[in-house]
């Protein structure tokens, strides 16, 4: 998973980052809430991990900002020294998906993170056939059809299509797509993503007249949108 981690205790952060890296997660670490929020609004992530007590803000304030202004679908895990029932209830009520008190063991931390990752997957993702309007993704052989007609896709094109359909309405950054599909960071030219998006738009006919819009968001990435009524009277 692609994870953004807000923790001002550097030694503790290094430990958690080491656990995440060993478990094949990609982690971006931040010590300041302002920098964290700026990146979360610019990039897309699979999971956010927040500390509560921070020098310039609080984790609760960061959580509220995320839920009000950023990607509301991304799961949020609190990792904090605060262990009162009142604090736990408050964090969950304000939009956190899970809450852990420090110190936490490696195995429990990774188990909680993996559970949140599984929970955030779209319902039915483990099924053999996924349907999105006229499109059917057959996961067993990584094929995709539209109106019953097989569309010729490369493996990367199929993976990108599956990622977009699984996140309909959500803005996905180029870097997120690069890491998830190509296994690399921004050092690979972003034209790689743009070229594949262009091919998908053409091959899948993702056009407003067909009920879909694959929208480029300047300096951010792409969002697949369902057009409510492509043929109004």
Q: What is the CATH number of domain 129-226?
A: 1.10.10.10
Using DSSP's 3-state secondary structure scheme, residue 83 falls into coil
Q: Distance between CA atoms of 36 and 21, rounded to whole angstroms?
A: 19
Rg (CA), the chain: 19
Phi-psi region of 222 (alpha: psi -120 to 50; beta: other; left: phi over 0): beta
Identify whether the C-beta of residue 5 lies closer than 8 Å to the C-beta of residue 49. Answer: yes
Question: pLDDT tens, 100-140?
Answer: 998 889 999 999 999 998 776 644 455 578 899 899 998 88
For the sheet containing 149-150, what is the strand order? 129-132, 135-138, 143-146, 149-150
Question: pLDDT tens, 153-189?
Answer: 999 999 999 999 989 988 999 999 998 898 876 665 5
Q: What is the CATH number of domain 2-120?
A: 3.40.50.2300
The pLDDT value recorded for residue 185 is 67
In the chain, residues under CATH classification 1.10.10.10 are 129-226
Its pTM stands at: 0.75
Q: Distance between CA atoms of 221 and 186, rounded to whole angstroms?
A: 12
In the chain, residues under CATH classification 3.40.50.2300 are 2-120
């Amino acid at each position: 998973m692609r994870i953004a981690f807000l923790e001002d205790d550097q030694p503790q952060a290094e430990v958690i980052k080491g656990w995440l890296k060993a478990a094949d997660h990609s982690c971006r670490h931040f010590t300041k809430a302002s920098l964290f929020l700026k990146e979360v609004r610019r990039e897309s992530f699979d999971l956010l991990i927040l500390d509560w007590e921070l020098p310039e803000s609080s984790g609760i304030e960061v959580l509220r900002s995320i839920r009000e202004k950023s990607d509301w679908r991304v799961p949020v895990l609190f990792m904090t020294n605060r262990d009162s029932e009142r604090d736990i209830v408050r964090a969950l009520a304000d939009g956190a998906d899970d809450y852990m008190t420090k110190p936490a063991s490696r195995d429990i931390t990774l188990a909680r993170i993996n559970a949140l990752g599984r929970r955030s997957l779209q319902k039915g993702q483990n099924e053999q056939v996924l349907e999105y309007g006229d499109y059917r993704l057959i996961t067993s052989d990584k094929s995709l059809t539209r109106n019953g007609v097989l569309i010729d896709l490369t493996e990367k094109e199929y993976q990108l299509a599956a990622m977009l359909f699984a996140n309909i309405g959500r803005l996905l950054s180029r870097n997120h797509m690069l890491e998830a599909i190509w296994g690399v960071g921004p050092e690979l030219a972003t034209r790689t993503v743009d070229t594949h998006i262009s091919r998908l738009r053409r091959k899948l006919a993702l056009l407003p007249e067909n009920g879909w819009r694959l929208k480029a968001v300047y300096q951010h990435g792409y969002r697949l949108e369902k057009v409510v009524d492509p043929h109004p009277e």
